[in-house]
Amino acid sequence: MNIQENFSLKKLNTFAIDVKARFFIEITGLLQLQKVLQLSAYPKRFIISGGSNMLLINDIDALVMHINLKGISIAEEDENQVVLKIMAGENWHDLVLWALKQGWGGLENLSLIPGNTGTAPIQNIGAYGVELKDVFVSCEAMHIETLELVEFSKADCQFGYRDSIFKNEAKGKYIITSVKLRLTKKNHRLLTHYGTIETWLKDNDIVHPTINNISEAVIAIRRSKLPDPKELGNCGSFFKNPVVSKNKFETFHKKHPNAPYYEMEDDTFKIPAGWLIEQCGFKGKRFGDAGVHEKQALVLVNYGNAKGSEILELAEKIQSEVKAKYKIKIEPEVNIIK
């Protein structure tokens, strides 16, 4: 078993924070995963996959297991649809591009999201009007104690906005090993209603868009305002957009009639945290190597050698200023590992 010591995790987290794993192992097979979970010499474990939704604050005094299970297969298929089984370590955006190459639809709005497929259900990744739950069939996860492979149906996952059972009751108990997604082979459901997609299609004279056109639009839009983690360390949106009650929203809206908002199905309102943060003057601000992205205030960035604690300090400063100015609590979307 190839267990390494004092292994730098800088390349394995998209914030590019340089912390060390006391012990480290790459997981490439299910049997190996079971064996490693049985090793009594390493009772403390920490799971890392795409590393695109975590802020590491300290060195990790545990066995860090990098989930790198690979493979894509067809689980079911008819003339209209295909169900794919994707192993957890497959890169998400590579999967999206591969599906598009086959002519299969459903993932195009989720183009260019960093991270791996196995972690997509944890926070129910979403962008441009689509969430993972819209194509999700089920996932398999290994119970860390019993080593059993358990299947979670879509209902079992209890998906919500950037939320699932894996952030709640099941947190820390399972390792997701594979995910099943249902894609369309024809009669694709094109979702272009998200404002910026429509504008991009119009600007590019595309009247009858294909799934490829939508992916191109999303890629162009994301590139124009979200930093590429290969160039500038970041984890996408650092905060979730706050969801407030109708009462609270009405008070807010009276005071700030120009603020953007989305009305939700259950009579609540989502207010873009990026707007709140920008109004507090943080957009484009830099404090040492920790900063707020100049094109999207929801994204915190590492200009090179920021420590996790410096990014966290900035996040807390933002939270308290937003709270003081708007009486609204914004919560991190990113997992903070202390």
Q: Which residues lie near ligand EPU (CB under 6 A)?
A: 127-128, 226, 236-237, 240-241, 260, 272, 274-275, 278, 283, 296-298, 333
Select 65 or 115, whichever has its Cβ closest to ligand EPU.
115
Nearer to ligand EPU, 142 or 226 (CB): 226
The tokens describing 124, both together, are 């129910």
Catalytic residue of the set 45, 162, 182, 222: 162
> How near is the Cβ of 265 to ligand EPU at its closest, in Å?
16
Residue 162 is among the residues annotated as catalytic for this protein = yes
The two structure tokens encoding residue 223: 């590139």
CB of 215 to ligand EPU, least distance (A): 14
Nearest approach, Cβ of residue 330 and ligand EPU (Å): 10
Question: Buried b / exposed e across 224-252, counting CB within 10 Å, b at 16+?
Answer: eebbebeebbbbbbbbbbbbbeeebbeeb
Smallest gap, in angstroms, from Cβ of residue 321 to ligand EPU?
A: 15
Rounded to whole angstroms, what are the CA distances from 54 to 80, 133, 236? 37, 21, 10
Q: Which residue, 60 or 130, has its beta carbon nearer to ligand EPU?
A: 130
Options 90, 131, 140, 333, the catalytic residue = 333
Helix axes of 92-102 and 211-225: crossing angle, nearest 10 degrees: 150
Strands 299-302 and 233-237: antiparallel
- Residue least distant from ligand EPU (Cβ): 236
Using the structure block, give the residue that is written with the tokens 């008070």: 251
What is the spatial distance between Cα 110 and Cα 132, in angstroms, rounded to a whole number?
8
Residues annotated as catalytic (active site), given as ranges: 162, 237, 333
